[in-house]
Amino acid sequence: MRVARALGTLPRLAQALARGELSYSKVRALTRVATPETEERLLKVGKAGTALHVERIVRAWRYVDRQAEIRNTAERHRSRALHVYQDEDGMVVVRGRLEPEAGAVLMQALAAARETLYARRRPTADVPAGTSRDAAITDDLPSWGQQQADALTLIAETALRQGLDPGAPAERYQVVVHVDAAVLADPEAPGQAVVEGTRVSAETAQRLACDASRVVMRHDAGGDITEVSARTRTIPPAIRRALHHRDQGCRFPGCGSRFGQGHHIKHWAHGGPTTLSNLATLCRRHHRAVHEEGYQIERKADGELVFRWPTGLMLAVVPPPPTILDAVDMLRAQDDALGLPIDAHTSTPSWLGEQLDLDYAISVLHPFACRPSERVN
Ligand SMILES: [Zn+2]
Ligand SMILES: [Zn+2]
């Protein structure tokens, strides 16, 4: 898959592979480093050298790349900036560059703030789609950009009110759910769940409670708080690490998102344990699909996950492969049709047995390497 994706931007290498001039192992190595700019010269390396030569040159190339990457990271760090200034019409303009990890924290905070502000506006389980109230809600939903602006304001206000201590990493994203205990355990039960002042559906409350630091405040029928629990994490750090290691991102068929939340297959409010066998990683979108949109997930006795459509039909893990009757005959016929005479010598390198001078090869091939004449010993 990696090689196929890389070849999408490397037409010359793709063609050489298609014409049988480069072996797959050479192409696999070359696509680790080749870019559209360096493709041409790396193609020559592939045609001239043996697979071992190509491997060694690629390894040295990546070393030079890593050194450049270290310099780039330092440069990126220096280039971080945030400019906030007032425009002529009085609006405040925000423009900046953040390092990836700082940006991730900002985006996560924006997403959490948007959810807090606008989750209630989305159609919820108790408002059937298509009713007039539903339509009105959808109509006046602010645009994405407006929601982002409101979210940033909320973040700033929250920071000023609560102080600027980020706390331990796992505690940065805390959700306070006020919930009627019966609702958390059973979405059909009368009662309500409120996220920091916003009424949410029971399904949403369950999703938020699935993986969060939580402070649960129980209310009696009159709305008075009867009990406030200590803050706990629904998924302790050690289990979260193991979960992340096992799942490597969202498990929903065909998703592939690397960012995920822990989902309790049987919810903890229903007595489901926080164990690896009862947990699965789902991205934000598919976590919502499972809790709020009726998709189902279960784990079979052999540990495999099964996903179902809201209708109960099983979701295929991967689409079935096309039927190929005789792969070799088909490939030969295709090659003949394209006028490709591929034989045992098509991929033989032009190498004549001379020694590979790796230092020299890299110094003339790699765009960032210093030339031998510039080298200081
Ligand atoms: Zn969940
Ligand atoms: Zn997903």
> Nearest ligand to the C-alpha of residue 284?
2
Share of the chain above pLDDT 90, in %: 25
Give 300 Cα–ligand 2 centroid separation in angstroms. 20
66 and 42 in contact (C-beta within 8 Å)? no
Beta bridge partners of 97: 81
Q: Which runs of E-coded beta strand occur in 43-98?
A: 81-86, 92-97
Residues whose CB falls within 8 Å of the CB of residue 314, separated by 6 or more in sequence, listed in order: 306, 307, 308
Number of residues in the chain: 377
- Rounded to the nearest angstrom, the distance between the alpha carbon of 82 and the centre of ligand 1 is 36
Ion ligand 1 neighbours (CB, 5 A) are: 210, 263
Residue 251 token pair? 């498990």
**Gyration radius of the chain over CA positions:** 28
Measured from the alpha carbon of residue 205, the closest ligand is 1
229 C-alpha vs ligand 1 centroid, how far in Å?
A: 21
Give the pLDDT of residue 50. Answer: 93
For residue 266, the ligand closest to its alpha carbon is: 1
Residue 12 CA to residue 23 CA, distance in Å, equals 14
Ligand lying closest to the C-alpha of residue 297: 1
Which ligand has an atom closest to residue 206 CA?
A: 1
Q: How far is the CA of 265 from the centre of ligand 2 (A)?
A: 15
Question: Beta strands 213-219 and 174-179: pairing type?
Answer: parallel
- Residue written as token pair 């590979």: 356
Which residues touch 297 (CB under 8 Å, ≥6 apart)?
263, 265, 280, 282, 290, 305, 306, 307, 308
What is the C-alpha separation between 135 and 122, in angstroms, rounded?
A: 10
Q: How far is the CA of 292 from the centre of ligand 2 (A)?
A: 14
Q: How far is the CA of 138 from the centre of ligand 1 (A)?
A: 25
Which residues of the chain carry a pLDDT beneath 50? 123-137, 166-173, 197-198, 376-377
The predicted pLDDT at position 125 comes to 46
Identify the nearest ligand to the CA of 286 by its number.
2
Confidence (pLDDT) at 166: 47
**Ligand in nearest proximity to the CA of 260:** 2
Q: What separation in Å is there between the alpha carbon of 153 and the centre of ligand 1?
A: 28
pLDDT given at position 320 = 62
The whole-angstrom separation of Cα 173 and Cα 99 is 20
Determine the distance separating the centroid of ligand 1 and the alpha carbon of 265, expressed in angstroms: 7
- Residue 115 is predicted with a pLDDT of 86
Distance 178 CA to ligand 2 centre (A): 27
Burial of 261 (0-12, 13-18, 19+ CB in 10 A): buried
Q: Are 21 and 343 in contact (CB under 8 A)?
A: no
What separation in Å is there between the alpha carbon of 287 and the centre of ligand 2? 7
Cα distances from 369 to residues 57, 75, 316, in angstroms, run 13, 18, 48
